[in-house]
Amino acid sequence: MSQAELSAVTLSLFMGFCAVSLCIVPGVLMALILARRSFPGKILVETVVFLPLVIPPVATGYFLLRLFGQKSLLGGLLAGLGVRVVFSWSGMALAAALMGFPLLVRTVRAWLENVDPQLESAARTLGCSRIQTFFSVTLPLSWPGIVAGSVLCFARALGEFGATAMVSAGTPDQRTIPLEIFRHYQTPGHEEAVLRLVLISIALSAAALAMSEVLIRKTAPARALSSQPGEAR
Amino acid sequence: MIELDLHLQRGDFSLQAQLSSSSQVTGLMGPSGSGKTSLVLALAGVINPVKGWIRVRGKDFYNSERGINLQPEKRKLGVIFQHDLLFPHLSVRDNLLFGYRHTPQALRKLNPDEIFELLDLGLLLERATDRLSGGEARRVAVGRALLTSPCLLLLDEPLTGLDLNMRDRLLAYLLRLKKELSVPMIYVTHDFSSLAALADQTALLTVKPVEKNRRSARVAAFGQPFQVMAGLENDVFAGGIENIVRGEVIEVDPQRGYAVIRSEGLSLRTPLNNNYPGAESYITIRADDIILSVGSLPKMSARNIWKGKIEEIQNFPSTALVTVNIGPRIRAELTPEAVSELGLKPGTTVHALVKVKSLRSVVLAAK
């Protein structure tokens, strides 16, 4: 494996971790809101959150360029502070996070909806405040969903191409595995490198999935799903 | 002291409840859908009334006019929910200590070991919650609530879903709580025999439909269980009419397969259950389980055959209630056809027949 390929693998992994770190807290909060609250305009919020799943990733990248580009208001403001978002790794991380966010929210939300709200009421009557209830009941019971959601988010960031390509400067230090694969693919005689990187990316994603399965099995109360009210004992 | 006056609304259902009770154990009975659980949840602070107020032991829990709504964790109530709601990610021990750990040291009045012993939980402690039987899970739920040292225990149909034997055992545990710990309780049930055994006073909720699928419920009566029940005389109670007799266990005979309980000169043969000689028991017999017969009897398998005189016959559209004096008075529910075919009228001498298995007995305490 060449130096450039190694750097692409490292950068991809780094993007994955960045995306998960950026998404985890807002993602769990968003999942909690969508699972437990109903409010006017909820459908609009859902649409916006899940939009990156369905629109072309390149469009998401374009949107980021317009939002954070040097000529935009936000981009200009940040540039004044010496922060450069587009054509830098921070922009790439942002793009990866944006693409992974809906996957994390969806997965966590499904698990949260499985946690019987009556269990939370029971915790309240046993002396827990709302926040204590979240940490002692809701979180442990939806933990497998958070693990699974994080892994999906991580894997999505690892393989993100369209949006990342838009905000990457394309310099060697800003190429993730997919970008590197595409570059090699376009260069005649680099088929071996393409194959190698494809295999590496498959292996990384498979490893992440396998690890999440193990973590879910270790942390999941198999019973978390069997405490629905009305179920016969 | 529990006082409340509130208006609750849940979908198409509304409840108007006014209650003031200073009993140690206050019953809450009524047919299903009469708002018993809603009232419990409102007391616990899990759901909010539309308006009104709730005061428990001098503390304002809720007052819509004064803008008071105490959070559930500040109310210091122990709630036993209908479905136990044990935490599936915690062991039995951690479930039991869950509320205890959230109770400040100074407010802990009960010691875990004491509760484990009182409810026979010692052998269950290290188990997972899905390895408990229905009765065991219910006891854990009771223990978990008790260990918060609550100022009031709310029991929402704690006997529902348990088999007969387990019901009687759990009821015995609840009677122990009442006697030994003097914990005030609100006991919700639609089972009158357990209510009569446990509650000092009871509220009766009734529900009736009002226009367009909407149902409206209210507290229709309050008083000692038997008085409240007596007030229901002309009403056909949703759960069926039950006869309740109080008596003393004379003998328990496993070989013959029944226990004999004496009440006002009458011998009743009941299932063995937890009866023991000298115990005081309540016996309940559903009115529609009683057969009346006139004339001489052939040999019969029914073990309870009582002779008596009809005192009253009440006719309803498709059913008749016949009151027979057999020592105590019991009521039998018959079809109008049976009443006319047998020529039943006040003064007729009849035999009342009931199978042993149709009697339910609840042991109160030894005399």
- Lowest average pLDDT, out of A35-44, A84-93, B150-159, goes to A84-93
When the pLDDT of each residue in chain A is averaged and rounded to a whole number, the result is 88
CB contacts of A216 in chain B (<8 Å) are none
Contact residues, chain B, for A126 at CB < 8 Å: 73, 98-99, 102, 144-145, 148
Choose the CATH number for B242-366 among 3.40.50.10490, 3.40.800.20, 3.40.50.2000, 2.40.50.100.
2.40.50.100
Helix boundaries (H) for chain B: 36-44, 92-101, 112-118, 134-146, 164-176, 192-198, 225-230, 336-341
- Per-residue confidence at A231, pLDDT binned at 50, 70, 90? very low
Residues of B in contact with A221 (CB under 8 A): 88-89
Which of A47-61, B82-96, B202-216, B222-236 has the lowest average pLDDT? Answer: B222-236
CA dihedral A47, A50, A53, A59 (to 10 degrees): 60
Weakest mean pLDDT among A18-27, A123-132, B312-321: B312-321
pLDDT at A224 over 70: no
* Nearest-CA distance B209 → chain A (Å): 25
Q: Which residues of chain B neighbour A118 with C-beta distances below 8 Å?
A: 81, 83, 85
Interval B88-137: pLDDT, tens: 999 999 999 999 999 999 889 888 998 898 888 999 999 999 999 888 99
Task: Express each pLDDT in A62-115 by its tens digit.
Answer: 999 999 887 888 888 888 888 888 888 889 999 999 999 999 999 999 999 989
- CA A163/CA B162 separation, integer angstroms: 59
Structure confidence by residue, pLDDT tens digits, B328-357: 888 899 999 999 999 999 999 999 999 999
By percentage, how much of chain B surpasses pLDDT 70?
A: 95
Q: What pLDDT, on a 0 to 100 scale, did the predictor assign at position A133?
A: 95
The pLDDT-based confidence of B238 (bands split at 50, 70, 90) is very low
**pLDDT value of position B172:** 84
Identify all chain A residues contacting B137, using CB atoms and an 8 Å cutoff: 233
Q: What is the pLDDT of residue A223?
A: 46
Task: Give pLDDT, residue B231.
Answer: 63
Listed range (A49-53, B38-42, B167-171, B322-326) with the worst mean pLDDT = B167-171
Residue of B nearest to A232 (CA): B161
H or E stretch covering A147? helix A139-159
pLDDT mean across residues, chain B = 88
pLDDT band at B240 (very low <50, low <70, confident <90, very high): low
Q: Which domains does chain A have, with CATH numbers?
A: 3-54+101-154+170-223 (1.10.3720.10)
- How large a percentage of chain B has pLDDT more than 90? 56
Chain B residues with CB inside 8 Å of A132's CB? 102
Calculate Rg over the CA atoms of chain A: 20
Q: Which of A125, A128, A230 sits opposite B79 (nearest CB)?
A: A125
Q: Is residue B65 scored above 90 in pLDDT? A: yes
B2-230 belongs to CATH 3.40.50.720: no
d(CA B262, CA A155): 76
On chain A, the residues whose CB falls within 8 A of the CB of B41 are 121
- Going from the C-alpha of B121 to that of each of A113, B118, B138, the distances in angstroms are 32, 8, 11
Nearest CA in chain B to A129: B73
Closest to A128 (Cβ–Cβ): which among B73, B78, B144?
Answer: B73
The CATH 3.40.50.300 portion of chain B extends over: 2-230
Q: Which amino acid is at A82?
A: G
pLDDT at A230: 34
From residue B58, how far is each of A163, B54, B359 by CA, in Å? 63, 10, 42
What's chain B's Rg over C-alpha atoms?
23
Is residue A126 a contact partner of residue B150, using CB atoms and an 8 Å limit? no
Q: Among B43, B89, B127, which would you mutate to test the A interface (most chain A Cβ atoms within 10 Å of its Cβ)? A: B89
User: Does the beta-carbon distance from B102 to A229 stay under 8 Å?
Assistant: no
Q: In angstroms, how far is the first alpha carbon of chain A from the final one? A: 57
pLDDT, position B44: 95
The end-to-end CA distance of chain B, in Å, is 30
Confidence band, pLDDT 50/70/90 cuts, at residue B140? very high
Does A167 score more than 50 pLDDT?
Answer: yes
| Average confidence (pLDDT) over A183-201 | 92
Query: What pLDDT band is residue B236 in, cutting at 50, 70 and 90?
Result: very low
Substitution target from B43, B47, B73 for chain A, most A beta carbons within 10 A: B73
pLDDT of residue B250: 92
Between chains, do A129 and B73 touch, taking CB under 8 Å as contact?
A: yes
Q: Is the pLDDT of residue B239 over 70?
A: no
Q: State pLDDT tens for residues B257-282.
A: 999 999 888 999 999 877 888 887 77
Per-residue model confidence (pLDDT) at position B367: 37
Which neighbouring-strand residues pair with B281?
B247, B363
Q: Which residue has the tokens 């407010």?
A: B107
Residues in chain A: 233
Contact A127 B73 (CB under 8 A): yes
Q: What is the mean pLDDT of residues B60-65?
A: 94
Asked if the Cβ–Cβ distance from A233 to B134 is below 8 Å, we say yes
**DSSP per-residue letters across B74-113:** GS-EEEE-TT----TTSBHHHHHHHHHHTS-GGG--S-HH
Residue range A170-190, pLDDT digits in tens: 888 889 999 999 999 999 988
- pLDDT band at residue B235, thresholds of 50, 70 and 90? very low
Asked if B88's CB is within 8 angstroms of A141's CB, the reply is yes
Whether the per-residue pLDDT at B162 is higher than 90: the answer is: no
| Res B180: pLDDT | 85
pLDDT of residue A136: 95
> According to the per-residue pLDDT averaged within each range, which of A57-66, B25-34, B155-164, B268-277 is highest?
A57-66
| Span(s) in chain B for CATH 2.40.50.100 | 242-366
